[in-house]
Amino acid sequence: MSALAPGALIDGTAVEELQAMFRGELIRPDDRGYDEHRKVWNGSIDRHPGLIARCTGVADVRAAVGLAKERDLLVAVRGGGHSFPGLSVCDDGLLIDLGAMKGMRVDPEKRTVRAQAGVLLGELDRETQGFGLAMTSGIVTHTGMAGLTLGGGIGWIMRKYGLTIDHLLSVDVVTADGEVLTASEDQNADLFWGVRGGGGNFGIVTEFEFRLNELGPYVVAGPVFWAMEDAGEVLRFHRDWVADCPDELMTIVVQRRAPALPTVPPELVGKLIIGITACYAGPIEDGERVVRPLKEFGSPVLDLCMPKPYLAHQQMFDPSFKHGWSYYVRSCDVAELNDDVIDIMVEHGSRITSPITSIALWQMGGAVARVGDDATAFNGRQAGFTFNINGNSMTPEGFEAERDWARSYWSALEPHHTSVYVNFLMEEGEERVRRAYGAEKYDRLKALKRTYDPTNLFRLNQNISPD
């Protein structure tokens, strides 16, 4: 039987078989809610699974995996549904949807949190900040915690506290055999190494346990914007300013057209701008001192960098990445912002047309770079900066032009590419996945895949083929 055979394999008997063991909801193409649950965040992805299994817990996940294995079904696994290339939904096969698994428990004494696989970043941030605690999570709060963590997890406080995976203490995993394993430094350590960067290749993680840091509730954070004409000077200032900044400071450079938001003056909306967004993970007075040069540089057109709740800062980019718009991303790491990289940014930034196309240039380093390269499957700890080049449009019309723009920006940077963050890949083929992990880690991940998923049941991901 072919694993890619269409949904005919999911016939009525199969659904009945699963239903007998399943507590959650099973949704077929003709059922109410089918369209709602098959949709993913990226509106340019439009796939129709043969069956959606909305799991409520580990037993449901095991039952769904059991059916998939028995019937050789194509399997998609969904956490928060924010895979850029839409890898968490498939045509015809079985969609194992973890979105209803929202359990969380903070232990304030131990400063840890346990969270199930359907938790979104904003939900986790709220729960942990309720105790004055936080871990590195992403910069858009409707992203899924599961997929982000399995790829590594980069965010505002990583330079101080490390990647999301550097907070991970243990995971519960349902393997392709339907076994439930706990992986940590002490148990199934090989698997624990692999899930910290290796994505969903080795099984379905049903629960995560993280350590937490004290943070907030207020931090000094937010963007300062200048006109795009000033991009060259702004980028040179940024390069010098962050060269020896403390780990508490993390910045993201943004190029885009000013969005229509309540915080943006109407006369600025639609204008090409360059911004430096800062977040200082430490005392307010120290943060104010550290960001002063940013606020005093040149002639900003808008300054929104100030003390504010960490939770509000986490949500800042949410309105720019709404569900259902068409998204395309190209990404690469670079070692440094040399003059050539800056010239490329100046040129391509000035060619942005769509109101929702943007680039984010992430400042890496700090605690991320101090963890050993071999400690986890994540690659690229020594990257200087990470580019996330987003060619986006609100409707399918014009999307191709935005993709072309993103590709040309990325290609211009090619001489400077070093590594690439696996969670920022589209479907770019095996060579790019190999590039993301580096040859040595890729081989180690392949060996692990042969141990835990030799038939490649979990293949809709940045796939590490066992062959």
How remote is the C-alpha of 460 from its chain's centroid? 16
Distance CA 377, CA 371 (A): 12
Shorter beta-carbon distance to ligand FAD: residue 342 or 420:
420
What strands, in cross-sheet order, belong to the sheet with 180-184? 104-107, 112-116, 204-211, 168-174, 180-184
E-state strands within 60-191: 75-78, 94-97, 104-107, 112-116, 133-134, 168-174, 180-184
> Nearer to ligand FAD by C-beta: 53 or 342?
53
Q: Which residue has the tokens 């309540």?
A: 262
CB-wise, 88 or 188, nearer to ligand FAD?
88
Residue 413 CB, nearest approach to ligand FAD (Å)? 19
How far apart, in whole angstroms, are the C-alpha atoms of residue 210 and residue 155? 15
Q: Closer to ligand FAD by CB, 96 or 301: give it.
A: 96
In the structure encoding, which two tokens stand for residue 136, read together? 């590195």
* Residue placing its CB nearer to ligand FAD in the complex, 88 or 112: 88
Q: How far is the CB of 202 from ligand FAD (least distance, A)?
A: 8
- 112 or 137: whose CB is closer to ligand FAD? 137
Burial class (CB in 10 A: 0-12, 13-18, 19+), 8: exposed
Distance CA 40, CA 21 (A): 27
> Least distance in Å: CB of 431 to ligand FAD?
18
Sites of contact with ligand FAD (CB under 6 A):
41, 77-84, 87-88, 98, 117, 138-140, 143-144, 146-148, 150-151, 153-155, 199-200, 204-205, 321, 423, 460-461
Q: Closest separation between CB of residue 159 and ligand FAD, Å? A: 13
Return the number of the residue (88 or 357) whose C-beta is nearest ligand FAD.
88
> What is the smallest separation between the CB atom of 399 and ligand FAD, expressed in angstroms?
16
- Taking the least distance from each CB to ligand FAD, the nearer of 94 and 342 is 94
Gap between the terminal Cα atoms of the chain: 19
For residues 336-371, one letter each, b for 16 or more C-beta atoms within 10 angstroms of the residue's C-beta and e for the rest, the string is: ebeeebbebbbebbeebebbbbbbbbbbbbbbbbeb
CA distances (Å), origin 388, targets 237, 406, 409:
21, 9, 10
DSSP assignment letter at 385 = E
User: By C-beta, is 332 or 460 nearer to ligand FAD?
Assistant: 460
Residues 6 or more apart from 203 whose CB is under 8 A from it? 173, 174, 175, 176, 181, 191, 452, 453, 458
Q: Taking the complex as a whole, how short is the minimal distance between the CB of residue 323 and ligand FAD, in angstroms?
A: 9
Run of H or E residues at 274: strand 272-280
Q: Give me the least distance between CB of 173 and ligand FAD, in Å please.
A: 8
The minimum distance between CB 98 and ligand FAD, in angstroms, equals 5
Least distance in angstroms from the C-beta of 234 to ligand FAD: 22
Residue 276, Cβ neighbours under 10 Å: how many? 26
